[in-house]
Chain A
Amino acid sequence: MSVLHIVEVTKTFPGGTNAVDSFSLDVADGELVCLLGPSGSGKSTLLRMVGGFEQPTGGRITIDGEDVTHLPPERRPTGMVFQSHALWTHMNVFKNLAFGLKLRHMPANLIKEKVEAVLELVGLAGYGDRMTTQLSGGQQQRVALARSLVLEPKILLLDEPFASLDQHLRERLREEVRDIQQRLKITTLFVTHGQDEALSMADRIVVMANGKTEQIDRPDVVYRNPQTPFVAGFIGTMNLIEGEVQGGHFVRADFTVPLPIADGPATLAIRPESLDLAASDKPGASVHRVTDYGTHGLVDLDLADGTRLKSMVAHPDLFRAGQGIELLPRAVAAYRNNQQIYRSSP
Chain B
Amino acid sequence: MSEVTEGAVRPLIDGAARRRPIGLLLVAIPVLLMIWLVIWPAMNAIGRTIWRTDANGQLSFDLSSYVFFFSDRYSLDNLAVTLWTTFVCAILLLVICLPIALYLRFSHGRLSAYVQALAIFPMFVPSIILAFAFIRVLGPNGMVDILLNAVDLPKIRTPYLTPWGPVIGLVWDNIPLTVLILLAGLGSVANQSIEAARDVGANALQVFWHIILPRISNSVLVALSFSVLGIFSSFTLPYLLGPASPEMLGPFMQRTLREVQNPVGAMTQAVVAFGFCIVFGLFYVRSVARNQGK
Contacts and interface: CB of A to CB of B under 8 A. Distances in A.
Interface of A: 51-53, 72-75, 78-80, 82-84, 86-90, 99-100, 103-104, 144, 147-148, 151
Contacts of B214: 90
Interface of B: 190, 192-193, 195-203, 206, 210-211, 214-215, 294
A80 B294 contact: no
Task: Report, nearest first, the 9 A-B pairs whose CB atoms are least far apart.
Answer: A100-B200, A86-B192, A86-B196, A73-B198, A90-B214, A82-B192, A86-B193, A80-B199, A103-B201
B200 A103 contact: yes
A73 B210 CA distance: 17
Q: Is the interface of B mostly helix, strand, loop or mixed?
A: helix
A126 B252 CA distance: 62
Nearest to B206: A103
8 contacts: A51-B199, A74-B202, A80-B199, A86-B195, A86-B196, A90-B214, A103-B200, A144-B196
A135 to B, nearest CB: 15
B200 A53 contact: no
A103 B203 CA distance: 9
Contact of A82 (B196, B203, B215): B196
A78 B192 CA distance: 16
A52 B193 CA distance: 15
A103 B202 contact: yes
A38 B48 CA distance: 76
A74 B198 contact: yes
Contacts of B192: 82-84, 86
Given A84-B190, A86-B190, A79 B197 contact: no
A84 B194 CA distance: 12
B195 A104 contact: no
A100 B192 CA distance: 16
Contacts of A74: 198-203
B247 to A, nearest CB: 43
Contact of B197 (A78, A89, A99): A99
Contacts of B202: 74, 99-100, 103
